[in-house]
Structures are given as structure tokens and as C-alpha cells.
Amino acid sequence: MQKRTYILSLLFLSLCGIVVAQETDDIGTETVTVVKPYSPTVSDAFKIKSAPNLNDSIVLQKKKIDYSIFSVPVASTFTPAKGKASGVERTPAPTLYNSYASVGLGNYNNALVDVYTSREFNRGEDLLDFGLSHHSSRGDLDSTPLETDFYNTKLNASYAKKDRYMDWGASIGLQHQLYNWYGIENGAFDEATVAAMDEQQNYFNAEAKAHLNMEDSFFKTGNILLRRFWDATESGENRVVVNPTLELPITEELVTISAKLDYVNGNFKNASLNNTANDSEINYSHFQAGVSPSLLILRDDLTVNLGANFVYGLDTENSESNFYIYPAVTASYRLLDETVIAYGGIEGELKQNSYHDFVMDNPYVSPTLNVMPTDRQYEGYLGLKGQLTSNIGYNIKGSYTAENMRPLFFLNPENLFRDDEKSYYYGNSFQVFYDDVKTLGVFGELNVDVNRNFSLGVNAEFYDYDTETDNPAWNLPTIKGSLFMDYQINDQWYFGANLFYVGERDDLVSQATVGAEPFEFPSTVVTLDSFFDANAHAGYHINEQLSVFVKASNIANSDYQRWANFRVQGFQALAGVSYKFDF
């Protein structure tokens, strides 16, 4: 008992001493400065080479168990549903027909007929085409006492064959045109004189063409034209044109050599209307042989074609010949990809004129022409073209052209001394006058594809002419412009329109005098007013094969003169039907 008391006393005294020490002792504060910074080190890790043995009787031991399976067949009535692929809606391909026919009738007894058919053989390697077109009018004009009928009928047939290495083809064409020299105003001549006039002219054309194109060969293309052209006054013309082309690759460049043989000869049974007596014929015959080598250079965005045109011209009727050298240099450079492309060039040629080409330009010429080639010394031009946006394209060009012997049309003199079979000597037909002309021109064009169904285009041309004779550039306008629009409204309806403007032109009215030169004839310069013409068409597809259409011409009902004293028909409307089929 005493021993326990002693021990408790001792513990009590010790606790009291500790409490007293905490209350009375103050050890103070000191600053410890570490002289050497602490530099820890990392010891290499070591790997235990052997796993320790675990000797523990508490760990449970795995007991081996044997399984056995007793299979019992079970009947199943489950049938999985078949999967169905998701369908994609496709636009059906349009049905193509190999034949087409269209017929239309309108006021002024206007008629329009178009028939076309195409047949393929040998899996598309052989193609045979036939086409027939006819446009005519039998209406009269109040401004003239003469007939104003016209006909234009064409028949074409062609055959083409294409295989892996070449394609070739041939075609024949026949054409008949009827026009009247009706350029006489009411009251210009008495009724007896008018009644005795035979103002009708007929043109006939027969031609054959052939072409050959080859792949992987130095000989690339070849074209041949054979043409016979004649009229109702026993005038006739023959023409042959042969045009082969070779391509020779040299290192990384391409050399192209084009050759041309062009021969035209013809005869007019009547003398020029500048002669008061019809006592001679007009014969002409011209041959050209030319070669045009060129070197094509492609460098990134730059394309340059360096060439020249060497031509030998022979006037076989007069035994005169000349040798001509013309430039043939063109270049283009992409300034901003497809947005801005700069282009330019300087080119020239000896242009072969013909009676056929003059009639295509002006069907009211007289069969008393002087046919000569045009020496187009050069045409220099610079321009910019490209895409302003993905659907807006533009083209701007400035040019300067120098031509010798350029053909211009103006009225034949009124020559009442003549009594030719046809009545084209009353100042109601046109002759060809050759002049040296220098032309400064500016051209601008803008095309807009609003969407895939609507397109719009506009262009304008401005010209300034300088002639060697100081005469006006006869019947050449200084301003021309046009606008066109096509709109596919929906699958059935479509609409289109075109408008064109032609500025003022100058012509010459004169009267033949016995014993005088043509420049001495009493004459007056007349200025033809500018004119604006608007045309439109619309159609409706009843089904894939049958359509109806309507066309309107000269909507403003203007009686403007395209050529002096030759007024046009007023407002014209024509309606028709077209049908596509397999033949």
C-alpha cells in the first residue's frame, strides 16, 4: 500500500514540475543560417531479383471443379426481319430522240420548217445526219410597189466515222434563196415602168466538205471545201479550199504548220452598172497558196504563240501576182487566275472574197460585181477577260486594223440607159466599192449566268473609220450593241429574248451619165437612221416529245432600213409546234 502511495506521489510531483517549467522557462529565439545549400541526390533503384515466398496457412487454396453439360434441343419460332436498303432519289436521265421536226406559221405569210434526223451505226462509231430547213415570207410592204417575197431553203446530209486514232467525215449541202430588188419607193416611177420590172433574183448553192482529224500523228487535221454558186442571171462561181495542219513537238514546245490552197473563179454575164452600155462580161480568178508556221510556248500562267503567215497571191485573169508576209503573234497571261486574263496579238491575212460571201452579207447586190481579195495588213488588239464571280464573265478589247482593198457596199447608180433582163438598174441594188480603211475599235461584253436556268448577256462595239479616199465607210455603223436572255422557267415553260441596236450609216445615191466617170456622176450622200430591234420567243413542253412555241420579231413595229430603200417588215408573230421522235 505504501509502495503504491509512493509511486503516485512521485508521478504527481513530476507533473507539477512540468507545468511549472512550461509557465516559467523562456528558451528565446535564434537565427540559423545555412551555409551550404541543400543538394538532394537520388539513389539508384534496385530490382528484386526473386519474388519472396509467401508462407501463410490462411491463404485459401483453389479447388479443382469439373463441369458437365447436358444439351437439350429447344424449338424456336423467332424469324428475324429482312433489312431494307435506304433508297436515293435520282433525277431520271432525259430521253434522247434521233429525229426532230418543227413547223410554224405567222403574219406576212411567214413560214418556218425544220426537220432533222441522226442515225448511229456500229456502236456509235458511224453517224449519218440529214437536215432540212425552210424560212419564207410572202408578205408585201406598203412602202414599195414591188414584190418583197423571200425564200431560204437548205438541205444537208453528212456522214462521220470515229475510232480510237482518227475521225473523218464528209457532207453535202444544197441551198436555194429567193430575194427581190424591191428598193424603190412608191411614186418613184410610173405604173407602166413598175409593171415591166422583173425584180426577182434566185441564188443556188451546192457544196461538198470533208475533214480528217488524227491522234498520235504529225498530221493533225485536214479540211476540203468544194462549192458551186450561181444565180438566175447566168452568173456563176467555183471555189476550192484545201487546209491541212501539221504538229511537230520539239523538246517541250509545239510547232504547228498550217497550209492553205484557195482558188476562186467566176463570171458575170453583165457589165458594171457604172457603164451605161451592157456590152461586156466580168471575169475573175484568184489563187492563193499560204503556209503559217507557229511556235507555242507555255510557261506557267503565260501562253505565247509566235508565228507568221506567208501567202502567194495570183490574179490569174490579169496575170498579176504578189507575195505577202503577215504577222501571227498572240499571247495571254493570267494576272489573277481566272479572274483577270490579259491577252493580245497582231495578226494579218490575205482574205479571199467571193460572190457567195457578198450575197451572204447583202443579198441585194447586183450580178455585176468586181471580186478581188482584201489585203488585211494587220490587226493589233489588247484586252482583258475573265470571271468577276463564278457566274459573271467579261471581255474588253481594243483594236486597230489596217486593210487595203476592203469591200464596202453602196447603192448602184440609177442607170436608165440599161435594159438588162433583170431590173436591178433602177438604183435598187448594191455594188462593191474597195477602199483602204483603218479602223479603231473598242469592244465590251458581259455574260451573267444567274443560275442554271437563267442566262443574260450584253455587248457593245464602237468604231472609228479612216478611209484613203476620204469618203465615209459606206454602210458601216460606228456603234453596234446587242442583248440576249434565255430563261428556263420550269420543266415546261421557257422564254428568250434578244435586242440589237445599229447606229447610223452613210450611203450614196447617184445617177449614171453617158461619157462620165463614176466619181463624176451626180450624187448625194444619205444617212440612214439608227435602229433598234427587239425579238422574243416562248415555248411550252406538253410532254417529252411535243412542244408548242411562239416567236415575235420587230416588236416595236419599226419600218427601219437595214439597207438604203430596203425597209423591213413591221411586227411579226409566228406560232408553231415541234415534235421529237425516233426514226
In a domain, 81, yes or no: no
On the question of pLDDT at 547 being above 50, the answer is yes
Q: Give the end-to-end CA distance of the chain in Å, rounded to a whole number.
A: 142
In a domain, 87, yes or no: no
On the question of pLDDT at 151 being above 50, the answer is yes
In a domain, 47, yes or no: no
On the question of pLDDT at 564 being above 50, the answer is yes
On the question of pLDDT at 44 being above 60, the answer is no
For residue 188 the three cell numbers come to 418613184
Distances (CA, A) of 495 to 311, 351, 457: 47, 39, 15
Give the DSSP letter string of 110-166: -EEEEEEEEEEETTTTEEEEEEEEEEEE----TT-SS---EEEEEEEEEEEEE-SSE
On the question of pLDDT at 4 being above 60, the answer is no
Instruction: Report the predicted TM-score, pTM, of the whole model to 2 decimal places.
Output: 0.82
Rounded distance between C-alpha atoms, residue 226 and residue 267, angstroms: 17
Contacts of 19 (CB under 8 A, 6+ apart): none
In a domain, 71, yes or no: no
Rounded distance between C-alpha atoms, residue 443 and residue 383, angstroms: 9
In a domain, 509, yes or no: yes
Q: pLDDT tens digit string along 258-310?
A: 999 999 999 999 999 999 999 999 999 999 999 999 999 998 899 999 999 99
Domain of residue 443 covers 99-581
Residue 18's pLDDT is: 42
Task: Using a pLDDT cut of 70, give the percent of the chain over it.
Answer: 84
Q: pLDDT tens digit string along 356-368?
A: 999 999 999 999 9
Rounded distance between C-alpha atoms, residue 241 and residue 226, angstroms: 7
On the question of pLDDT at 454 being above 50, the answer is yes
Q: pLDDT tens digit string along 514-532?
A: 989 998 999 999 999 999 9
In a domain, 88, yes or no: no
Residue 165's pLDDT is: 86
In a domain, 63, yes or no: no
Q: What total of structural domains would you count in the chain?
A: 1
In a domain, 282, yes or no: yes
Residue 200's pLDDT is: 96
Band of residue 13 on the pLDDT scale cut at 50, 70, 90: very low
CA 470 to mean position of chain CA atoms? 37
Q: What is the mean pLDDT of residues 100-109?
A: 95
CATH assignment at residue 330: 2.40.170.20
